[in-house]
Structure 1
């Protein structure tokens, strides 16, 4: 690179991207975010240590990357100037990509600190470097797309998400489904939140809602309403309770709400149902 080298940096959607030249041979950093450093030079006699692990020495080749966990430390020494593209990605950004792409927000990145070569990551880094240096119209959109692709690739290939197929992760285990439906049957007349049910299943609300609907054909809220309507139907046939009493006993906020939901579900008003079938 020329002596007039100018570092370039930008921040887009929870990701900071920097193309820089390290002239200080020593590095000792701890960052609050995930850090991916892609090397653009062959560096001889480099050494580094990751979060207190034993020191490693060797040659850092072009295209090799370091992936560092959030809030971890890396120390190192590179005797020659080194050009890098450095991505710092917030945990919230990776969780968002995991949730919207894989319907899962529980994962671990494999970040042992050992240099590795991933041709896709190197290709992304080269493209980002070129966009930063070109400073052309549309560059920020290109970089946003590239960093999104990078985040998804890290989750696909360098995280715990790859251990299960997408279809496996979408399924609600039978014992969890029984646990959830039993809980609803016993508490349908109370206020039940999506977060409460998701916690019972040990899932995020978004992921749980998708899995529950796949297993039952109904969203959690629809399933709860179905149980309330079934209760009202039984009580209409077997008791003389008023509609107001039944609506409150079933967990509805008002008689009018119960009547509306009942007619949408059954096709008759509660009074018509009682008169017709009792």
Structure 2
């Protein structure tokens, strides 16, 4: 994930808030106003209000502007290539998701076995508490800054995208394919092997689900049932175990170990190890040297 969300969020000024991109889409938490914006959406977009907006004005593919109260939790959907005008009279905070059409089509095919769909934007001022809950989870992770867990954010955007398709598109009444239980023994071995072989890379939910032969949302549920923890938790634990092994058994520089095990830098590895293992790479290496000197 980077703080450069490319063309997916190109219509949103950078100074409104940090932008982050994963395999599943891009997201920004914006803080701005009073202000206005007018653009043709370069991607599918979903906006969730985190603060109320009295007197909000919106026009979607129309010259007629609606003015309304947008309470906290209001959801707005802007399909790709739609023309949007919006104006707000008070400072506002919101979460904005941008989803590439080809990526969303692929997700729809995996989840609903049909990749042709259209979004159905809700009525103005429509409040969705579940979407607001998901938005707060994404916001909380954004606020971690450089220590964001990339796979966790990718998981959140996958779940959010699936939720939007299920509730605000022509796939609304189409049942999803059912999967019950955890991963099969073979799928579990394949996923574990893939994770360990690519521990230093940025792993995505979509790629892991492919190895398990499941849709992304079903994979997330099945993985947790099998492993007892979510994919991002499991991968962090694995990264820390591999890093600890390398610290203790090799003379490899700590910054190189951090890179090889998928951490952003030495500081990220140190902070994660301190939080989850109550020690640090430097302390582990000092202890190893002291033990060696005492023999």
Question: How many angstroms does 1:99 deviate by?
Answer: 1.1
Residue equivalent to 1:83: 93
Question: How many angstroms does 1:130 deviate by?
Answer: 0.6
CA distance in 2: counterparts of 1:50 and 1:29, whole angstroms: 10
Within the candidate set 125, 134, 145, 1:124 is matched to: 134
Question: How many angstroms does 1:76 deviate by?
Answer: 2.0
Residue equivalent to 2:159: 149
State yes or no: 1:17 paired with 2:27.
yes
* Residue-pair matches, total: 163
1:107 aligned counterpart, secondary structure:
coil
CA distance in 2: counterparts of 1:101 and 1:42, whole angstroms: 33
Alignment of 1:80-229 (within 5 A): 80-111=90-121, 114-135=124-145, 137=147, 139-166=149-176
Residue equivalent to 2:73: 63
CA distance in 2: counterparts of 1:101 and 1:157, whole angstroms: 13
Question: How many angstroms does 1:159 deviate by?
Answer: 1.3
2:153 aligned counterpart, secondary structure:
helix
With normalisation by structure 1, the TM-score equals: 0.54
- Structure 2 contact 19–29 (Cα < 8 Å) conserved: yes
Question: How many angstroms does 1:155 deviate by?
Answer: 1.4
Within the candidate set 46, 63, 67, 2:56 is matched to: 46
- Structure 2 contact 16–32 (Cα < 8 Å) conserved: no
Residue equivalent to 1:7: 17
- Structure 2 contact 109–115 (Cα < 8 Å) conserved: yes
Question: How many angstroms does 1:30 deviate by?
Answer: 1.5
CA distance in 1: counterparts of 2:87 and 2:148, whole angstroms: 37
Runs of 4+ off more than 4 Å: none
CA distance in 2: counterparts of 1:161 and 1:77, whole angstroms: 30
Question: How many angstroms does 1:114 deviate by?
Answer: 3.0
Alignment of 1:219-258 (within 5 A): none
Residue equivalent to 1:36: 46
- Larger C-alpha radius of gyration, 1 or 2? 1
CA distance in 1: counterparts of 2:148 and 2:50, whole angstroms: 25
Gaps of 5+ in 2: 1-14, 178-295
Tell me: CA distance 1:95–1:28, structure 2 relative to 1, closer, same or farther (3 Å): same
With normalisation by structure 2, the TM-score equals: 0.51
- Structure 2 contact 122–168 (Cα < 8 Å) conserved: no
Q: What do residues 65-121 of structure 1 show as CA deviations (whole Å, max 9, x unaligned)?
A: 110110011112211111111101011111111111221111111126734222221
- Structure 1 contact 50–113 (Cα < 8 Å) conserved: no
Gaps of 5+ in 1: 168-278
CA distance in 2: counterparts of 1:145 and 1:166, whole angstroms: 18
